[in-house]
Amino acid sequence: MPSPHLPSSAAEVMAGASSLMAEPFKGPITVTLAYFVVYYLFCFGQTFMHTVLFATLKKKGESVTLSDVKLGRIEDPMVTAVNRMFLNTAEQAIPFLTSFWLYALLVDREDATLYGWVYVGLRAVYPLFLYLGLKFYTAIVAFSTAGQYLIIFYFLVKLAFLVGVPAWVTFSILGVIMCLMSVIAFRYHLVWALGKDREGLQPLSQ
């Protein structure tokens, strides 16, 4: 009879080895799982809200199709918010997960876990800030998105230093990106301040 303290099969040996290998990365793995929970909540939430908004618009007598709602053809703040909720999350998934795991593997697991949780938290409240931004003032959204961008940039800068990229190159590229972000932010502020629809941007007062 095999000892209860010894693995009885190769599968158990492999499982034990995998567990030992995963233990140091428990933090990053947990962050990744939490991120995907948020990701799929947004994904399925988008589909659910499309159905609700479609039904609401039909009750109001609007001549719309479900495709109009899904593809954002309807000039409605809630449609915009629902679509951006998931699209922005999908857009940033690869930059975040790639930089996060490279940082965790090559730089500092605990540091990555801490900033990873902050990122997931900011991502989770993104719909709230997006709604407030559409309803009141665009810049409110930056309280969520800017923090997420900064965390990704932090990971990337540390990784760049790790492989010997000169500081002036790293910060020059980062500076250009920040300038572009500032220009975009100013443009949205201008649209909000003028209260006009420019190139398809909805005035936030509506």
On whether residue 184 sits in a domain, the answer given is: no
Into how many domains does the chain fold?
Answer: 1
For residue 22, what are the contacts with CB-CB under 8 A and spacing of at least 6? 29
Residue 25 near residue 101, CB atoms below 8 Å = no
Q: What is the 3-state secondary structure (H, E, C) of 101-136?
A: HHHHHHCCHHHHHHHHHHHHHHHHCHHHHHHHHHHC
Task: Tell me which residue range forms the domain holding 152.
Answer: 10-163
With 80 as the cut, is the pLDDT of residue 199 above it?
A: no
Question: Is the model more confident about 77 or about 171?
Answer: 171
pLDDT tens profile 143-189: 788 889 999 999 999 999 999 988 888 888 888 877 877 666 666 55
On whether residue 203 sits in a domain, the answer given is: no
On whether residue 117 sits in a domain, the answer given is: yes
Q: pTM, whole model, 2 decimals?
A: 0.75
On whether residue 127 sits in a domain, the answer given is: yes
Task: Report d(CA 21, CA 177) in Å as an integer.
Answer: 37
With 50 as the cut, is the pLDDT of residue 196 above it?
A: no
pLDDT tier at 34, thresholds 50, 70, 90: very high
Apex 52 CA angle, 136 and 41, nearest 5: 80
Min mean pLDDT across 5-9, 29-33, 53-57, 100-104 is at 5-9
Q: What is the CATH number of the domain that holds 76?
A: 1.20.120
On whether residue 4 sits in a domain, the answer given is: no
Apex 154 CA angle, 148 and 157, nearest 5: 140
